[in-house]
Each structure stands twice: as C-alpha cells, then as structure tokens.
C-alpha cells in the first residue's frame, strides 16, 4: 500500500537525480593561440585545435561586442581577421556553429611602421587568401592588389608584382602603366604610386599551362620603412578537371542563418503569412515575419563537396523559378534596398580540400507571391569565370498560413475571452462547492505539479534541447506528462467532482506566473481552453459525474488521453499561428501520439493506483 509522504519523498529524490544528471561532463577545453601575425591588412591567429567557427567578436572591457567577423561553417585552425583590430591586448569571443562560445585573449602587435597595408586576391573575391586555390587555365581572371594607408598625407611608394612566366598579364589599363620585364622565369611588373588612404589595382591575368602551382607576390616599398610583402597561391587547371572534383550534393530548407537544419520543420516549404495573421501576432506578442524588406524570409543550406587535393574558390548561385522554366521568378529576387540588380542570390565560398562544406543562402519572398509549386535552381561556378561546375535542383512549395491551426487559435482566444469574466464572476460559487479539506488537497496537488514537474522541466529543457534538439519534447514528456497526469489523476480519484482539474490547473498556472512571469496572452490562450477541455473530457467519460464513487482506471486513462490530445493539438496550433513554427507531418503525428495520448494515459493509470491507495489510507 502506497503512502502519500513516501510518494512525495520519492518524487523529490527522483527530481533531484534527474536535474543533476548530465551535469558531470567537463567543460570543453578553452582554445589557445599558438601564433599571432599581423600581415598588413589583416590579423592571423593560429589556433592549437581546429574549431568549427561561424563568428568572432572583439569585446570591450564590459564584455560588449565592438567588432565582428563572420565565417562560413567549417573547421579552421587559422583565423584571418580583416580589418585587423588595433594593437594591444584584446579579448575575443569565438562562436561555433553549434552556438557554443569560447573566450580567447590575444596580444596584437603593432602595425608596420609605414602604416601601409596590402591585400592580394586572385581571383578577385576569393573569401580567404594564404591557401592554394584552383584557377581556370586559358580563361582570363581578375587579379586585385589593394593598398591602404592610415594617413591621408601623400607618400610615394614602389609597387612590385612578381608572377610566373606562364601567367600572362594585360597591362594596357592604368596610368601610369606598369613597367614589365623578365627576371629569369619570373615576370616582374613595377610602378610608382602616391599612397593615400585606399587604392585598388585590377589586372587581367590568364594562366597558359594547366596543372602547375603558381605563386604571385606583391611588394609595397615605402622610404625608411620595411617593405610590405603579400603572397597568394593558385593552381591552374582546366574547367573539366575541376568539375570532376566539385559537387553539390544536398540542399535543405528551411535552415537558420548558419545553415543548420531543423528536422522537426516541414521541409521544402515556405508558409506565407496572411494579413489577419500578422495583425493577430502583433497584438498577442507573437513572432513578426520579415516580408518584402531587406531581411531574408528564410534560409536554405547547400552542401558542397571538394574531392580534390587543392582548395577551390567557387561562387554559389541560387534562384527560384516556376516549374517548366529556367528564368528566375522576380517574386523571389533580392530586394532593391540591398542594391541587388541580379534576380539571384550568391555567395563566394572557399572549399578546403577533401571536405564537405555547408553554405547558407538567403531566401527572399515578395508579399504578392502566389502560393503554388516552384523549383529551386542552384549553380556552383568557379570563381573568376562563368564556368558551371555543378548544378542542383530542389522543389519548393509556397503556402499560406495553415488555416486549421489559425482557426483553432482564434477559437482558443474566443473561449479565453469568454471564460475569464465568467470564472471571475462565478469563482466564489465554484469554491463553495468544495469542502475546506478538499480545497487544501487541490492546492497541495496543484503545487506538487508545479514543484515536481514545472521547475525540473524548465531546468532540463535547455540541456535536452542542446543534446537532443529534435527529440527533446518526447524525452521531456516522458517525465513531465506522466508525472503531472499521475498527480492530477490521483487528485481526481480523491475528489471526483467537476472543477477539481480546473482549480488545480489554475493553482499551477498562478505559481508559474508568479515565479517565472508566465502571464503573457499566449499563456492564457493555452491554459484556459486546455483546463476547460480537460473538465469536459472527464465529465464525458463519467469520471466526475458520480462524486460518491471513485472512477475506474480505464475511464480515467481514456479521459486523460483525450485531454492530452486536445492539449497537444492546441499547443501545436498556437505555435504555428503565433510563432510560425510549422512542423513536419511525422513530428506532428509522433507528438500527438506520445505527448498527447500515450504519456497521459500512462500517467492516469499510475495516478489511479496512487489515488486508490491514498483513498484507502484516508478511510
């Protein structure tokens, strides 16, 4: 025979054990900087261990971010920060793709005495220098030499470009022209210039031999100062050679801005908001939707693979068109406010050798876009040429906000607005139907649900969302739903009268609001209809229609299962309508079956057994 105090003692011990589980993992090792080099225009930090970084922030003394550098996701052992932060000791926050952050203290050396910085790019727009990349043979490419200086006072400097003889150069542009000469197997270009704040030189170069590595070196020499030297490396290859090594293997939509895909969301689908839905979300504190402005409506992640031994600088292009057409649809073109004139989005990407890289592309949607079936076209081009290396197609479905979910949310709002004044007016009459002992039992059991379920679930949610981002609701429900329904089921067995679940639920709701501030309109929209639906389910199943007789376990389990399905459906509808979280069909089905039906039924069976034991003890 079970005992009430023994049950509460065991529940508290189980809660403490669950809360402390997983807390013994040691924190990840802090990153270390092996070497710091100030290479003119940028700063290079060599890390002891590679990190999958997406963002680096420089922090001030108060811990606020004052400068940010972003990276494409992928392991990197060297950080290239451009522009370089000022000299001195700085603290950086390194943010990984999984959103973990590390702090790194670095001593930054002084810049060169001349204050001149140089940057060499081949081809123009390559995301990162210092790594050998492919360059198409017999195809003209643009070489960029950017010279910057901190001072605006005139200073005459000497420029020197050293290139392999197999790299032909067009020096016809520019005044004064470059002076070209051969020094053995090296082609040397020199000229003078007045170094002011910023100046860029563009040259057209063409590799004539495929398969050979090429090193280009630029030297900026100022009087009475050490020369500034920058280098870049390329390897000439035919387009067919590179095409066999570069692949676009997969595309996922929707993702976050870092390219991370959420398997619980409905794939290859965009849900367009309605004007009424936008108005309701703004009034009830829901999630606003960027539509038609400069912010992307969604993101899609594309996985690119480089099977070669050399890095590849590529350009990823993406556009959306109607089925049966290759012309981009202007409803998905980047907005004019961003200065975009092309009807596609693009991103330069450096693909390290023998790796796969996820690239996030923004998706823009015009407010007047019509629902229907579209197609997403993706192209991978070798940076510096128009040669297409790989293509990929994926379907796209554009829908308006789910009507059933929105109508359920409106019905919940109507029921809440109607029920609140009725409960406030008839509240004393409802309380008067219960004896003082029964009211104490209702308050104790409602508080027990808050202490044994509400607080632990909040503590465990953050940990489980990080470890099991897709299945965390099902793991949390195995504890939260079963224990909560078991406590309420035991209360119903002790006090099988209409209104008992409503009063116990309101007790938990008030405690949750007082301790955690959960008094938003969304909390009312969920709590009030869910409690009223629970009362109806218990009455229909005959659980609370006969106060003199305890309910049977099958009747209580079926009523709680029906109540759980209603509560789960209401939760999903509110998340879809107010926060625009559109879940995959498998996730909705599994959520309704487990968190909606199975867990409450299991909790009701345990609660019926516990309630009968407590009832016999009281008698």
- The pLDDT confidence band at residue 157, using thresholds 50, 70 and 90, is confident
What residue ranges define each of the domains in the chain, with the CATH number in brackets?
4-21+403-618 (no CATH), 33-108 (2.60.40), 116-235 (2.60.40.1510), 242-400 (2.60.40.3880)
Residue 15 has pLDDT above 70, yes or no: no
Burial of 487 (0-12, 13-18, 19+ CB in 10 A): buried
Burial of 29 (0-12, 13-18, 19+ CB in 10 A): exposed
What is the rounded CA–CA span in Å between residue 340 and residue 286?
31
Runs of H (alpha helix) within 373-471: 403-432, 436-449, 455-467
- The 388-400 sheet, strands edge to edge: 269-272, 388-400, 372-382, 312-322, 345-351
What is the rounded CA–CA span in Å between residue 248 and residue 4?
62
Choose between 507 and 273: higher pLDDT.
507
Question: Which residues fall within 8 angstroms of residue 180, CB to CB, at 6 or more apart?
Answer: 169, 171, 187, 188, 189
> Which has the closest alpha carbon to 125: 136, 141, 137?
141
8 A C-beta contact, residue 447 and residue 608: no
Q: What is the enclosing helix (H) or strand (E) of 577?
A: helix 553-579
Count the residues in the chain. 619
Q: What is the DSSP letter of 24?
A: T
Residue-wise pLDDT for 373-383, tens only, equals 999 999 999 88
Grouping H, G, I as helix, E, B as strand and the rest as coil, residue 483 is helix
Residue 232 has pLDDT above 80, yes or no: yes
> Which has the closest alpha carbon to 119: 91, 85, 82?
82
Pairing of strands 133-136, 228-237: parallel
What per-residue confidence (pLDDT) applies to 392? 94
Residue-wise pLDDT for 413-458, tens only, equals 899 999 999 888 988 888 888 889 889 999 999 999 999 998 898 8
Task: Give mean pLDDT, residues 115-126.
Answer: 81
Count of CA atoms in the C-beta half-sphere (13 A) of 105? 3
Question: Which residues fall within 8 angstroms of residue 345, CB to CB, at 6 or more apart?
Answer: 317, 318, 319, 334, 361, 362, 363, 364
The shares of helix, strand and coil residues in the chain, as percent rounded to the nearest 5, are 35, 35, 30
Residue-wise pLDDT for 301-345, tens only, equals 999 999 888 888 889 999 999 888 888 888 888 877 555 667 889
What per-residue confidence (pLDDT) applies to 606? 93
Residue 293, Cβ neighbours under 10 Å: how many?
12
What are the residues facing 88 on neighbouring strands?
Answer: 108
Pairing of strands 213-221, 156-164: antiparallel
8 A C-beta contact, residue 463 and residue 584: no
- The pLDDT confidence band at residue 3, using thresholds 50, 70 and 90, is very low
**What pTM was estimated for this model as a whole?**
0.61
Residue 593 has pLDDT above 90, yes or no: yes
What is the rounded CA–CA span in Å between residue 514 and residue 177?
76
The three-point CA angle 459-460-461 to 5° equals 95
> Which has the closest alpha carbon to 231: 118, 309, 135, 140?
118
What is the rounded CA–CA span in Å between residue 100 and residue 97?
7
Residue 175 has pLDDT above 70, yes or no: no
Buried b (16+ CB within 10 A) or exposed e, 87-125: eeebebbbbbbeeeebebebebeebbebbbbbbbbbbbe
What per-residue confidence (pLDDT) applies to 288? 64
Residue-wise pLDDT for 531-573, tens only, equals 999 999 999 888 888 777 788 889 999 999 999 999 999 988 8
What per-residue confidence (pLDDT) applies to 292? 64
The CA–CA distances, whole Å, from 332 to 267, 369, 393, 448, 618 equal: 18, 8, 16, 52, 68
Residue 173 has pLDDT above 60, yes or no: no
Residue-wise pLDDT for 452-480, tens only, equals 998 898 888 888 887 887 888 899 889 99
């Amino acid at each position: 025979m079970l005992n009430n105090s023994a049950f509460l003692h065991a529940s508290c011990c189980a809660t403490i054990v669950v809360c402390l589980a997983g807390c013994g993992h040691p924190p990840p090792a802090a990153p270390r900087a092996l070497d710091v080099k100030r290479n003119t225009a940028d700063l290079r930090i060599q890390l002891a261990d590679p990190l999958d970084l997406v963002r680096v922030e420089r922090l001030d003394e108060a811990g606020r971010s004052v400068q940010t550098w972003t990276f494409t996701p992928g392991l990197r052992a060297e950080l290239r920060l451009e522009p370089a932060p000022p000299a001195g000791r700085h603290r950086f926050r390194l943010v990984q793709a999984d959103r973990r952050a590390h702090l790194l203290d670095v001593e930054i050396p002084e810049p060169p005495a001349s204050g001149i910085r140089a940057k060499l790019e081949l081809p123009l727009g390559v995301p990162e220098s210092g790594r050998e990349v492919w360059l198409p043979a017999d195809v003209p490419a643009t070489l960029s030499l950017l010279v910057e200086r901190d001072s605006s006072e005139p200073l005459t400097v000497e420029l020197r470009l050293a290139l392999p003889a197999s790299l032909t150069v067009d020096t016809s542009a520019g005044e004064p022209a470059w002076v070209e000469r051969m020094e053995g197997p090296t082609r040397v270009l020199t000229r003078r210039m007045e170094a002011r704040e910023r100046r860029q030189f563009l040259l057209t170069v063409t590799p004539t031999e495929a398969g050979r590595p090429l090193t280009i070196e630029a030297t900026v020499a100022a009087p009475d100062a050490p020369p500034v030297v920058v280098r870049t490396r390329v390897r000439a290859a035919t387009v067919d050679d590179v095409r066999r090594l570069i692949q676009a293997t997969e595309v996922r939509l929707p993702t976050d801005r870092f390219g991370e895909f959420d398997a619980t969301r409905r794939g290859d689908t965009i849900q367009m908001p309605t004007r009424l839905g936008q108005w309701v979300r703004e009034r009830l504190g829901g999630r606003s939707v960027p539509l038609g402005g400069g912010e992307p409506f969604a993101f899609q992640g594309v996985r690119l693979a480089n099977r070669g031994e050399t890095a590849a600088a590529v350009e990823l292009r993406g556009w959306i068109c109607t089925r049966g057409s290759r012309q981009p649809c202007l409803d998905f073109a980047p907005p004019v406010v961003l200065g975009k004139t092309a009807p596609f989005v693009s991103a330069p990407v450096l693909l390290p050798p023998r790796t796969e890289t996820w690239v996030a592309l923004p998706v823009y949607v015009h407010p007047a876009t019509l629902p229907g079936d579209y197609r997403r076209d993706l192209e991978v081009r070798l940076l510096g040429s128009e040669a297409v290396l790989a293509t990929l197609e994926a379907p796209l479905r554009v829908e308006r906000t789910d009507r059933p979910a929105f109508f359920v949310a409106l019905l919940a709002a109507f029921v809440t607005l109607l029920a609140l004044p009725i409960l406030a007016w008839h509240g004393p009459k409802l309380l008067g139907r219960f004896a003082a002992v029964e009211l104490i039992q209702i308050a104790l059991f409602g508080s027990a649900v808050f202490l044994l379920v509400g607080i632990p679930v909040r503590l465990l949610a953050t940990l489980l969302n990080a470890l099991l981002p897709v299945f965390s609701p099902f793991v949390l429900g195995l504890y939260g739903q079963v224990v909560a329904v078991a406590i309420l089921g035991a209360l119903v067995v002790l006090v099988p009268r209409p209104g008992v679940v409503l009063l116990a639920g309101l007790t938990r709701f008030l405690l949750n609001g007082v301790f955690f501030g959960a008094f938003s309109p969304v909390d009312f929209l969920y709590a009030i209809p869910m409690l009223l639906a629970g009362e109806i389910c218990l009455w229909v199943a005959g659980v609370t229609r006969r106060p003199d007789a305890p309910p049977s376990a099958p009747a209580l389990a079926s009523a709680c299962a029906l109540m759980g399905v209603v509560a789960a459906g209401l939760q999903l509808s509110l998340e879809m309508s107010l926060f625009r979280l559109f879940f995959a069909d498998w996730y909705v089905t599994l959520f309704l079956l487990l968190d909606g039906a199975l867990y409450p039924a299991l909790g009701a069976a345990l609660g019926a057994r516990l309630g009968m034991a407590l009832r016999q003890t009281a008698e």
